[in-house]
Amino acid sequence: MADLQTQMKQAVADAAVEQIKDGMVLGLGSGSTAALMIQGLGAKLASGELKDIVGVTTSFQGEVLAAELNIPLLSLNAVSRIDLAIDGADEVDPGFQLIKGGGACHVQEKLVAARADRFVVVVDSTKLVDRLNLGFLLPVEVLPGAWRQVKQQLEALGGSAELRMAQRKAGPVVTDQGNLVLDAKLNGGISDPVALEQTINNIPGVLENGLFVNITDEVLVGEITDGVAGVRSLEKRLS
């Protein structure tokens, strides 16, 4: 399955690059599929197929990759607008509501997506779900001095929350903003993403959570059909 998933990610990343036009200011997302998109963009810039592109990255990971590929970058504060933002997601529901933040970059990702005239999400078919949070935990970025208090408030909503611990490093994950991440699981999943996003963000000590609601313009899905990787534009289902 790993090889098929890589094929799906590559196919959808290539499809996203086809939406990029000369002269665009681009939001460059985070994660494995977005990284493939950034690599594809770098190749087109190097070959001259695309020109006059400026990128705004959503993570230090993306910044390093873009710099290695000689993609011109500006900070979010240095641009007046973003034409197109392309990013992955950890879960996508039929109404185009998302959970993001598996890489702990969701604060900058949401800032860039909200600034973009058009926000396109690129995923493989394994990321499509009927209801959010049944399989993937909801990341909540919190101030380091408030994580225990916020954990209690999240659990009071009906579920559990755990401090995300780092791999190959002692202690918790620290975000690019210097904060911590609580991963929350709501009993029965998330039935109302719009209301829950506001509720969580109103908890003192929370900087931002990984629910991306009413912000996605298109979802491109990489999938395998008859052993061949292809891409479809997901049809939005209104509740």
List the structure tokens of 101: 């933040």
To which residue do tokens 């990759």 refer?
Answer: 65
Please name which of 187, 88, 96 lies closest in space to residue 137, comparing C-alpha atoms.
Answer: 187
Using CA atoms, how far residue 10 sits from 7, 55, 59, 129, 228, in Å, is 5, 20, 20, 21, 12
List the structure tokens of 2: 């790993």
Question: Residue 178, Cβ neighbours under 10 Å: how many?
Answer: 8
Q: At what angle do helices 2-17 and 32-47 cross, to 10 degrees?
A: 50
176: Cβ–Cβ under 8 A, 6 or more apart, which residues? Answer: 59, 60, 104, 105, 107, 108
- Sequential DSSP letters for 71-136: --B--GGG-S-EEEEEE--SEE-TTS-EE--TTS-HHHHHHHHHHEEEEEEEEEGGGB-SSBTSSS
Options 63, 91, 109, 141, the catalytic residue: 109
Q: Whole-angstrom Cα distance, residue 55 to residue 75?
A: 8
Amino acid at 5: Q
Answer yes or no: 109 catalytic: yes
| Catalytically active residues, by annotation | 109
